[in-house]
């Protein structure tokens, strides 16, 4: 029985989940938010108890110290070595990292070099890696969001801009949400024959669609950054890049500011001018709020378009998976997408199953030509599994 911590670091936050491995039982979970503020919030949940503290936390090192203090105080661990490994969700692994790796100073250096490709994400991983290293010598593992998509072929990842920019700067489609897509494609196998063709719709605040053949990613909707693909909570998804310079010129602002708008003020929020939260928008939709309706209709259309594209790319589809906060929780939003594709793909959905679905479930009828499966994603479990495997190998080899 080994304790593994899965960490998801943000610029001012870090979320954690502690697993007992290999049993996969969750021992504790929590988060530290508003790091760098006077009123940072530390929450830990364990043994059906929840503890919340509001206190100043200056930086990520202090956050990690506080995290360990809570583990000691609550007797979750009695010394640092009770933690077998710490696994980090890393957004951008570039072309170098095709699978999860032991997180050491070499990986740290590579992540520094990759920072121009992921300026919003990679620096937080580096800071939290350093913080854990300063506090303890627990082995750390990096689990890359891009790694699962390394099987995408060149004709699916090259952009039609001068080739020299691909060579010079690595401008290409990388794809993200890879840990989620990997988990979901493995779970989906339980319902399908070998060598299946799957389209995964990970629909949350950030959303991406992936085409999977024989367990491998063939195409995915996010690109050079997680800004593009389908319409998201606050991100625009695919738009004509000329809009960027047009808006910068006419709004008399910088292209950086416009990019910020495309990340934070666009998508469902931008169109509805109401909310980026899918639940709020559903309520407004039901009250015939015009822009909420337009936002949801466009959102569903953008997903249906990718499903159509990937149906062709895969040469058919055996199953479509719905996951992410919206995909796994909302019969309404699933139905919105399915209504746009059901005739072309001969999908028959069981409305009762769709409405009653709480966890993992097939919601299509046996007659449906394509299985529709709802599967809650679990990126943290995937991180814990990779970490457990890599650290076990490290220790086994050392003892050898
Ligand atoms: P993130 O990309 O931040 O991980 P999540 O996967 O947690 O996002 O998804 C957040 C989205 O899921 C929000 O838009 C939220 O409104 C939506 N959501 C969560 N539960 C429901 C629900 N029961 N019905 C509709 N939408 C939901």
Higher pLDDT, 122 or 347: 347
For ligand 1, say whether the CB of 210 is within 6 Å of any of its atoms: no
Report the chain's mean pLDDT, rounded to a whole number. 95
The model's pTM is: 0.95
Higher pLDDT, 194 or 373: 373
As a whole number, mean pLDDT of residues 116-139 equals 89
pLDDT digits (tens, 9 = 90+) for 308-318: 999 999 999 99
Distance of CA 78 from the midpoint of ligand 1 (Å):
36
pLDDT of residue 398: 59
Of the residues 39, 105, 145, 260, only one is catalytic, namely 145
Q: Given CA atoms 235, 240, 244, 246 in this order, what sign does their dihedral have?
A: negative
pLDDT at 399 over 60: no
For ligand 1, say whether the CB of 110 is within 6 Å of any of its atoms: no
Decide: helix, strand or coil at residue 55: strand
Chain centroid offset of residue 255 CA: 26
pLDDT at 161 over 90: yes
pLDDT digits (tens, 9 = 90+) for 83-111: 999 999 999 999 999 999 999 999 999 99
- DSSP letter string, 213-263: ETTEEEEES--SSTT-SS--SS---S--THHHHHHHHHTT--HHHHHHHHH
Higher pLDDT, 224 or 119: 224
Higher pLDDT, 248 or 48: 248
pLDDT of residue 91: 92
Residue 238 among the catalytic residues: no
As a whole number, mean pLDDT of residues 211-238 equals 97
């Amino acid at each position: 029985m080994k304790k593994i911590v899965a960490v998801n670091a943000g610029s001012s936050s870090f979320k954690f989940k502690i697993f007992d491995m290999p049993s996969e039982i969750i021992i504790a979970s929590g988060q530290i938010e508003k790091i760098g503020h006077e009123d940072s919030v530390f929450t830990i949940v364990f043994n059906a108890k929840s503890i919340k503290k509001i206190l100043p936390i200056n930086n990520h090192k202090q956050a990690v110290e506080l995290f360990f203090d809570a583990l000691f105080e609550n007797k979750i661990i009695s010394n640092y070595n009770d933690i077998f490994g710490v696994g980090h969700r890393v957004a951008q692994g570039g072309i170098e990292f095709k699978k999860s790796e032991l997180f050491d100073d070499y990986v740290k250096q590579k992540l520094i070099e990759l920072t121009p490709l992921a300026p919003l994400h990679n620096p937080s991983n580096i800071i939290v890696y350093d913080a854990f290293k300063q506090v303890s010598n627990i082995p750390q593992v990096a689990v890359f969001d891009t790694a699962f998509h390394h099987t995408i072929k060149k004709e699916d990842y090259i952009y039609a801009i001068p080739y020299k920019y691909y060579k010079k700067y690595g401008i290409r489609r990388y794809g993200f949400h890879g840990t989620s897509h990997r988990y979901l494609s493995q779970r989906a196998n339980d319902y399908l024959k070998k060598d299946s063709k799957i389209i995964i719709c990970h629909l949350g605040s950030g959303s991406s669609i992936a085409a999977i053949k024989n367990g491998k990613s063939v195409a995915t909707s996010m690109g050079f950054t997680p800004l593009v693909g389908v319409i998201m909570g606050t991100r625009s998804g695919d738009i004509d890049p000329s809009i960027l310079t047009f808006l910068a010129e006419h709004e008399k602002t910088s292209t950086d500011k416009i990019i910020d708008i495309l990340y934070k003020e666009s998508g469902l929020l931008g169109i509805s001018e109401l909310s980026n939260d899918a639940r709020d928008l559903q309520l407004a939709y039901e009250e015939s709020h015009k822009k909420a309706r337009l936002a949801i209709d466009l959102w569903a259309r953008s997903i249906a378009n990718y499903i159509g594209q990937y149906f062709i790319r895969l040469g058919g589809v055996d199953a479509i998976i719905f996951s992410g906060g919206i995909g796994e929780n909302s019969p309404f939003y699933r139905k919105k997408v399915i209504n746009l594709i059901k005739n072309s793909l001969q999908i028959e959905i069981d409305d009762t199953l769709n409405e009653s679905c709480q966890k993992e479930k097939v919601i299509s009828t046996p007659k449906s030509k394509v299985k529709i499966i709802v599967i809650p994603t679990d990126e943290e479990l995937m991180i814990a599994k990779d970490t457990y495997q890599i650290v076990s190998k490290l220790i086994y080899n050392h003892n050898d």
